[in-house]
Amino acid sequence: MRIAIADDDKEIVEFLGGIVEGLEYVYAGFPDGNALSSALLRDTFDLVILDWNMPGRTGMQILEWMEGAIEDRPPVIMMTSRAAKQDISDALNAGADDYITKPEDPGVIAARIQAILRRGSGSSAMEASAQYGEYKLDRIEQKVHHKGKDISLTAKEFELTDLMFRNRDRTLSRRYIMETVWRTNAHLATRTLDMHVSRVRSKLSLTPENGFRIFTVFGYGYRLETLGNGS
Amino acid sequence: MKTRPSRLRRRLGIEWAGVALAASLLIVGLIHWDGLADFDNLIYDQLSDLDRPEASDDILIVAIDEDSLSAFGKWPWSRNRHAELFEKMASSESKAIAFDILLSEASDPETDLRLAKSISENPNLYLPIHLVLPGANGAEFDLKEPVSPIKESAQGLGHVNLNFDKDGMVRRTSLCFKDTSGKTWPHLMELAYRHANGNASLAFDRQSDCKQNLLLPYAARGSYTTIPYAALVNGEMPISFLRDKVILIGATAQGLGDQHPVPMRDGGTLAGVEIMANLYNALLDDNFISPLPKWLQLVLSLLPVWILLTGFWRWRPRTTIFASIALISLVLIASFGLLSMKTWFAPGAALAGLVFVYPIWGWRRLQSTSDFMDEELENFRLAKVDIPVVVTSAGPVDVVTGQAEELTHAIAHVRDLRRFITDALSNLPDPMFITGIDGKVKFVNKLAQTGIEDGSQDFALDDMLNRFVAPEDLDEVKEYLTMQAKPKELDYVDFTSLNDEVFAMRRASVVSDEGELRGYIHYLADITEVANAAQEREEVLQLLSHDMRAPQAAILALLDGQTQSETTKRIEKHARRTLALADNFVGLARIKSNEFSGEEILLSDLVIEANDSLWPLAKARNIKATIGDESEGAFILGEPSSLHRSFVNLIDNAIKYSPDSSTIQIIMRVMELDKEPYVAVSIKDEGDGISEDMLGNLFERFASDDSGSKGSVKGAGLGLNFVATVIERHGGSIRAENIADKKGIKGGAQFTVLLPLAPEPETV
């Protein structure tokens, strides 16, 4: 796997490069947007990690340029020091596959990179059961087994749980979740999804102590993050 | 404004109807009771004087005049004298003879016999009968016929009565007379005419009954050939002179009493025989004048008056006076014109109507107008428009003049007021414009860049906006201007002008006394500098947000590769503090400059996630957070980023001040406050609590516990101030207190946040 990292901060490039190498991938660092875009035209990458604020062309400008200029463009993770909710949802809605707010824990960054690449390699085969950390999902019985206990869920709750675990460390838009779980793009009451997520969180005790947390990306969607010993 | 003229109009309408009715009744009354007969006769006399008929040569008067009296001695003469004349006339071949001398008493029989015989020698001789009014013993009249045998000797008897008008004048005549026995007596002249012409006169044939009076046209005095009686008897005049003539014999001498006043300009009298000559002349020429029937008289009299009445509505007062004079002349001309066509239209009633209606209407109109002006001036005063007191140096004036002067002053005052307002508007420091209800711009001030001059205008609003507002803001401005009722937060609109100035425009309605919408005032404030400052501030915040965070992120990235040591830990802590400070600072600045816009948030999950994000920190010091969620899935309306940051701050604070291996209790529950549902979130640590002097200003900016009990953990100061600002912005409240130890649970500082619940969504 080849990963392109563009950041005007040399420390950040090296920091991210260290994480990528820890995952046994290869990386190429670029100090600004122009260097990255010329590389993208003549080289192939499996993932691009883009800093939002760079001299020359900003991350957003490159993202927009990529949409038109690169055929079959690689997935993009937007890195940003901006923490405002509007900035995050703007980036995601502009086509970024994920975003990471600096500073972030190396383990989290690694998990997010892997989540994006996992999607690319397509592990879509549905086994009868799947193990995520201490959670075991029984897709036939629609039950979750955790620390010696069976947790019973409604059909929608199980589907939501399954969807989030399969896409752990990926930011899922509300719309995507709605269409996948409820199979509708009609505007369900916003509260419905919030309540389901809340119930899954509480029934499964998805807390950092258990290695997971659900993170709400306001104005966009949800992400199930694996922490520490999450696989 | 609209109601007032119609009030005056109504009043004038009523007055007009009154005047019209009075004038019409006057005319009807005058005609019905013939109230202006004297006046009409006077006009008739004057008019008829202008057009007199020619006397016919066929008529010959044989006059018993002064010469005849002096020749034959005093009257009455012996009837032998008349017999002598008639014997002579027997051979005269005259057409007809009318003898207008009364022969009702008998004289000596021999003489009477001679006379009768001489009369019968003239087969064309007629004698008069006389009516004596009133008759003896209460009879209406007595009929006096000639005595026998004279009566029988005549060819016929005709009446010779004269009709006297009230003024004693003889103007009218009737061609026959019907006595009580029903017998009709034609006039003596009618009989003579029949004899001379062999048929009844046209006028006689035309009339329906004997009561009909005809107006007699008089030829000029002395127009008829007259010869003295004596001259004929003495042979001074040859008898042949009478040939083919109608002979009228009667008294003309003054002393004989047969003289009657006639409508002649000289005012004199005319002998009965000459009146009869005129009558015969009229029969001959068929030129009697017949009066108009009453109904036609009425119509013709009303017509000019109604023309004038109608004109009052259309013509100016000056025109009406000329019109009145013209109509009066017209009536007189019409009267004369009809007269020359042998029809009499009495102009008196019409003239009286015209003369009556003009001043009466003038008076009523002036009165109404005066009353109206009075009322209007009173209204003006009631409207608290200050009218200066009128001081006339010219001394006393009549009431209407006074009112007019006052009105002039009031108008001048209003003009001044208008000028004053215009001046005031023109001197406003900021641009403004006024539109009318027709949507047009009526007044403009200081909008030179639109190319419209300051002052009163009549300009299409859209046209003006196109010359002024930048195209990208045009729709927004137009939308604002078309809004009827404005929500409070939209009581102004910002836009950029074509010159890159930024304006805030406010609109206010102009409403009349009656509550009617008259237009709008638009006031523009130049907020270019403010807008630029806001823009700059936003740019600074963007810069700060990024440029302060980026180095800290780089430091943390750099540290990650290093082996952990006390120094790297402390560097990391400081870097994280700087990050938090930047976040709080930028967050604080941003929320203060932005409008609140909340979305539905499941509060319990937001708090849980805030706690989750601090888990590494808590875990490092073996601090446990327990969350008791009794909030029943409560949703609030909030801004997620700032709320999330607030709870992170609060929990971070709790961790900071907690001893290692202690517990932080987070409890969420729904409660009611003043009947409004709230969610309460309390966060309690097991630390030493907050010092008393800190409790009061805990949420103020840069307040931080520097009392030094725990030197290693220092608040950034901004953290709690940020929380308080955010919570307040959400319509909630925050409280800090110290909880004492109880039931084996260690006490500590407790923060409680109250946030109002979001309204329930409408169920679909």
Give the model's pLDDT for residue A231: 37
Residue scoring higher pLDDT (B551 or B732): B732
Domain-embedded: residue A152: no
Point out the residue among B599, B604, B615 whose CB comes nearest to the CB of A198.
B604
Question: Using the beta-carbon criterion (under 8 Å), do A191 and B761 form an inter-chain contact?
Answer: yes
DSSP characters for B430-464?
S-EEEEETTSEEEEEES-GGGTPPSEEEEEEHHHH
Asked whether residue A117 falls in the same domain as residue A165, the answer is no
Same-domain pairing of A6 and A109: yes
Whole-number Å distance between alpha carbons of A14 and A30:
11
Quick check: A142 and A129 in contact, CB under 8 A?
no
* Number of residues assigned to chain A: 231
pLDDT band at B709 (very low <50, low <70, confident <90, very high): very low
- Residue B487 pLDDT level (bands cut at 50, 70, 90): low
Kindly report which listed range (A19-33, B20-34, B321-335, B569-583) carries the lowest average pLDDT score.
Answer: B569-583
**pLDDT for res B620:** 86
Q: Which of A176-190, B394-408, B497-511 has the highest mean pLDDT?
A: B497-511
Q: What is the CATH number of the domain that holds A179?
A: 1.10.10.10
Give Cα separations from B36 to B19, B170, B350, B721 (angstroms).
21, 18, 11, 109
C-alpha torsion sign, points B249, B250, B253, B256: positive
Residue pLDDT, tens place only, B594-630: 788 888 899 999 999 999 988 888 988 899 999 998 8
Domain co-membership, A51 together with A107 = yes
Query: Domain residues of chain B, as ranges?
Result: 3-47+292-377, 54-286, 428-525, 527-594, 597-756
Cβ distance B663 to B625 under 8 Å? yes
| Domain hosting residue A191, numbered range | 157-226
For the ranges A199-213, B376-390, B549-563, the maximum mean pLDDT occurs at A199-213
d(CA B444, CA B459): 10
Q: Choose between A124 and B554: higher pLDDT.
A: B554
Give B673: exposed, middle or buried? Use CB within 10 Å, 0-12, 13-18, 19+.
exposed
Sign of CA dihedral B415, B419, B422, B424: negative
Work out how many domains chain A is built from and give that number. 2
Residue A145 lies in a domain: no
Closest CA to A48 of A31, A65, A72, A27: A27
- Does the structure show a pLDDT above 50 at B716? no
**Helix or strand or coil: residue A217?**
strand
| Domain B428-525, CATH class in plain words | alpha beta
DSSP 8-state secondary structure symbol assigned to residue A179? I
Dihedral pair phi/psi, residue B135, rounded to 5°: -80, 175
Are both A104 and A180 inside the same structural domain? no
Cβ–Cβ contact A176 with B under 8 A: no
Q: Which residue type sits at B507?
A: R
**E strand or H helix that includes residue A29:** strand A26-30
Which of B557, B599, B612 faces A15 most closely, judged by CB atoms? B557
Contact flag A103-B615 (C-beta cutoff 8 Å): no
What ipTM did this prediction achieve?
0.85
Same-domain check for residues A41 and A116: yes
**Chain A residues 109-148 within an 8 A CB cutoff of chain B:** none
Q: Are B161 and B100 within 8 A, CB to CB?
A: no
DSSP labels, B283-308: HHHT-PBEEPPHHHHHHHHHHHHHHH
The CATH number of the domain where A45 resides is what?
3.40.50.2300
- Among residues A105, A46, A100, the alpha carbon closest in space to that of A77 is found at A100
Q: Which residues in chain A touch residue B555, judged by CB atoms under 8 angstroms apart?
A: 11
| Contacts B615 to A, Cβ<8 Å | 207-209, 213, 227
Q: What is the pLDDT of residue A158?
A: 93
Our CA-based measurement puts residue A51 at a distance from the nearest CA of chain B, in whole angstroms, of: 11
pLDDT score of B684:
92
To the nearest whole percent, how much of chain B has pLDDT over 90?
Answer: 17
| pLDDT for the residue A49 | 92
Bridge partners (DSSP) listed for residue B275: none
Q: Mean pLDDT throughout B510-539?
A: 83
C-beta of residue B65 within 8 angstroms of C-beta of residue B271: no
From chain A, the residues in CB contact with B561 under 8 A are 14-15, 18
Judging contacts by C-beta atoms under 8 Å, the chain A residues touching residue B612 are 207-208, 213, 215
The yes-or-no verdict on residue B329 having pLDDT over 90 is: yes
C-alpha span between B4 and A33 (Å, rounded): 79
| Among B556, B602, B612, beta carbon nearest to A194 | B602
pLDDT at residue B154 is higher than 60: yes
Last residue of a domain, one of A121, A138, A173: A121
Q: In this prediction, what percent of chain B has a pLDDT beyond 70?
A: 92
Would you give per-residue pLDDT tens digits along chain A (231 residues)?
Answer: 889 999 888 888 989 999 999 888 989 999 988 888 888 888 888 899 998 888 778 888 888 888 888 878 889 999 887 766 677 888 888 888 888 888 888 888 888 898 888 875 545 557 788 888 889 999 888 889 998 899 989 999 999 999 999 888 888 888 888 888 888 766 666 788 899 999 999 999 999 889 899 999 888 889 998 886 433
Among the candidates A73, A94, A121, a domain finishes at A121
- Given a contact cutoff of 8 angstroms between Cβ atoms, the answer to whether A36 and A4 are in contact is yes
Whether A81 sits inside 8 A of B602 (CB atoms) is: no
Average pLDDT over residues B322-334: 91
The SS3 of residue A193 is: helix
pLDDT tens-place string over residues B61-118: 999 988 888 888 888 888 888 888 888 888 888 899 999 888 888 888 888 889 899 9
As separate numbers, helices (DSSP H) first and strands (DSSP E) second, chain A gives 8, 12
Q: DSSP states of A35-86 as a string?
A: HHHHHHHHS--SEEEEESS-SSS-HHHHHHHHHHHSTTPPPEEEEES---HH
Is residue B74 a contact partner of residue B80, using CB atoms and an 8 Å limit? no
| C-alpha separations of B693 from A128, A132, B306, B720 in Å | 63, 51, 102, 16
In a domain, A133, yes or no: no
- How many angstroms away from the CA of A176 is the closest CA of chain B? 19
Residues A38 and A117 in one domain: yes
Residue A130 lies in a domain: no
Predicted local distance difference test score (pLDDT) of residue A120 = 57
- Give pLDDT tens digits for B239-269: 888 888 999 999 888 878 788 888 887 777 8
pLDDT of residue B265: 76
Q: What is the pLDDT of residue B648?
A: 92
Tell whether A27 and A110 lie within a shared domain.
yes
- Please tell me the distance from the alpha carbon of residue A5 to that of residue A16, in angstroms, as a whole number: 8
Q: Based on the fold, state whether residues A190 and A89 are members of the same structural domain.
A: no
User: In CATH, which of 3.40.50.620, 3.30.565.10, 3.30.420.40, 3.40.50.300 is domain B597-756?
Assistant: 3.30.565.10
The per-residue pLDDT for B2 is 44
As a whole number, the mean pLDDT across chain B is: 84
Mean pLDDT of B265-282: 86
Would the pLDDT of B134 be above 80?
no
Average pLDDT in the B741-754 region?
85
A117 and A9 within one domain = yes
**pTM recorded for the entire structure:** 0.53
Tokens encoding B647: 């709870």
From A71, A105, A121, the end of a domain falls on A121
| pLDDT for res B734 | 92
Decide if A165 is inside a domain: yes
B669 confidence band (pLDDT: 50, 70, 90): very high
CA-CA-CA-CA torsion for B461, B466, B471, B472, nearest 10 degrees? Answer: -10
